[in-house]
Amino acid sequence: MRNILILLVSIMVAYNPLFANNNPTDPKTDQDPEVTIMPKVFQLGENEAAYDQLSVEYGTSLFALEDVEATQAMSIWSNMIKEMEAHAEMLDYDIKGVKMWLHVFWDEDGRINHIGYYLKPASRNVDKDELTSFLMDFVNNYYVPVSYSKKFSHNSHAAFPTLNWMEKNKLATKGKE
């Protein structure tokens, strides 16, 4: 299953113009040859100029959205992390032990347009290509089911398993005793 996922994402990357190299002579690209179009999933620390451009374009924080209270914003973030974990379980991708920084960029309809990640030093060692493929599949299938007036972003950390996963395992073990 994992190999199929990697193959599908590789095909998507090869034929998706968002992943094409920026050619300064190509009129379809940005005016600034130093700035390339960011892929949907990228590692934080790569292509800082394009990352800075994304940060400006999605300058509104999840916690600064109008009509969104702090508890609701936190709920949106934690639900996304739990959904990410459930998505990994569905794909049989082992995300347990992964600890990373995430910077997520949503459009006005709650769809994730970009997600940047950086594995923390204390994270379990995982293949970055597989993690990128997993995150690409997640990005293509997840959205916040609410519309907002502007694009927004949030950066924070994520660690797996989540408490939700630990609680499920605890409940499952109690039934076996």
CA distance 94 to 161: 10
Q: What is the pTM assigned to this prediction?
A: 0.74
CA distance 50 to 73: 26
pLDDT for the residue 110: 93
pLDDT for the residue 162: 87
Whether the Cβ atoms of residue 91 and residue 5 lie closer than 8 Å to each other:
yes
Q: pLDDT tens, position by position, for the chain (177 residues)?
A: 655 555 555 555 444 544 444 444 344 444 454 556 899 999 999 989 999 999 999 999 999 988 788 999 999 999 999 999 999 999 999 999 999 999 999 999 999 999 999 999 999 999 999 999 999 999 999 999 888 899 999 999 999 998 765 566 666 676 665
Which structure tokens are listed for 60?
């509104």
- Over residues 98-150, the pLDDT tens digits come to 999 999 999 999 999 999 999 999 999 999 999 999 999 999 999 998 888 99
What secondary structure letter does DSSP report for 69? Answer: -
CA distance 61 to 95: 27
